[in-house]
Amino acid sequence: MSQKYRVVFIGLQSTTSAEEVVTTLSSKLNIAPQKVEAFLAKKPLFAPAEQSKSLKQVKLLERMGVKAKLVAVEPPADTSPQSQKDERVFEALDYITSSLIRIEERLEEIEHRLGNSSDEDKDDSKPDSWQEDELFEELDLDLEPVKKIPTRKLQYTLAATLIVLLTVLALAIIYPQWFNL
């Protein structure tokens, strides 16, 4: 079993206040503000994780104005139901944090792509960079191409058929003897 690390609160950056951090973290991580306040009171917010994952958590917290450090964690000796429940909650928070980190990295990558393309001269005839297919290739969607049916031709054909049928019906009502067999 590899070494696990826990993210521990050190302090706040000089540019942020505790209220800002509580609202930002609770909205970003989708957790109760009380849990964030407990984190600011030196309680753990995330479950122990691998060093690389914990470093990403520290990086995310630094972006939000929180100074944090890693502390090595010994494997737990007790396996009470409450500690197992706490570990599951911490693991869920870790998953959410990891997802947020991946999303932020993707957004930065897309912003970087869009920033580079905005520096170039654009023609009105060229599509915008957000309309290009390269940004959507990552979605791996299997969309079937829509077959374009000739709508005008089909409409005219249906209208002509309808007129012919209505004419035959009118003749059958007016001159029923013509249609008796």
Whether 159 maps to a domain, the answer reads no
Give tens-digit pLDDT for 23-40.
Answer: 888 888 888 889 888 888
pTM over 0.75: no
Give tens-digit pLDDT for 112-153.
Answer: 888 776 655 454 455 555 555 555 555 555 555 656 666 788
**What's the number of CA atoms in the CB half-sphere (13 Å) around residue 151?**
2
Q: Which domain holds residue 111?
A: 4-119
Instruction: Please tell me the total count of domains within the chain.
Output: 1
Our CA angle for 163, 168, 174, nearest 5°, is: 125
First to last CA, the chain: 92
